Amino acid sequence: MPVTIVATALKSAASIFGGLFLADFISGLIHWFEDRYGNPKWPVLGHTIRANQEHHFKPRAFLAGSFLTRNKEVFVLGALFLAGFWATGTLNLFTGSAVLFGIFANEFHRAAHRSPKENGKLITALQKTGFAQSFQHHAAHHRMGKDTHYCVITNYTNPVLERVRFFPALERMVKAVTGRTPRLDESVNERYRKAA
Ligand SMILES: [Zn+2]
Ligand SMILES: [Zn+2]
């Protein structure tokens, strides 16, 4: 019997962590798409893309907004996903965990811009484990071309994606299929812009 309990616990932990990493990966995909191809003039998505651009210029400005302002769109998206999983009989620990962590992606991102004092002991301790993204890790996205480290939830997904050069490969694929090249972020400084 104890063996069964251990096996169930391991399976549950794998589903929860699997959901966490899937949510992290998807946060990176969305962020990458907005940063590299997004146009602030687009309907519906435009204001999120403008907010991302502003965030690159003034990284701490979004800390001032309310919880609802930061998260309302993602919560709606999360509820739609939950309903979809439920309706198709695919709502389980893995998909539920992915949605749960995914809807808090903005909060993970926000914590990565705050000081340990602002975050408090619990979040700071979580950031030290890397399961909540740390300030040092997220700072890599705000350096240079703003074209790496797109995932915002943990410290573990980005190094894998950077190592296999996942996003440059995806950009080559987009170019091959649609002919579109990614745009350089407006906040990128002139020196980097010329070298790129
Ligand atoms: Zn960005
Ligand atoms: Zn940021």
Domain residue limits, the chain: 2-195
Name the residue type at position 63.
L
Q: What is the spatial distance between Cα 110 and Cα 1, in angstroms, rounded to a whole number?
A: 43
Gap from CA of 88 to ligand 1 centroid (Å): 33
Ligand nearest to the CA of 148: 1
**Other CB atoms closer than 10 Å to residue 34's CB: what's the count?**
20
pLDDT at 1: 61
Q: Count Cβ atoms below 10 Å from residue 114 Cβ, excluding itself.
A: 16
How many angstroms does the Cα of residue 81 sit away from the middle of ligand 2? 25
Q: Report pLDDT digits (tens) over 44-53.
A: 889 889 988 8
pLDDT for 159? 98
Q: Distance, CA 183 to ligand 1 centroid (Å)?
A: 12
Predicted TM-score of the model (pTM): 0.92
pLDDT reported for residue 85: 97
Range of weakest confidence among 39-48, 132-141, 145-154: 39-48
- Alpha-carbon Rg for the chain in angstroms: 18
Q: Is the pLDDT of residue 196 over 80?
A: no
Question: Ligand 2 centre from 85 Cα, in Å?
Answer: 30
Question: In angstroms, what is the span from residue 196 Cα to ligand 2's centroid?
Answer: 22
How many percent of the chain have pLDDT more than 70? 95
Instruction: Quote the ligand 2 centre to 16 CA distance (angstroms).
Output: 25
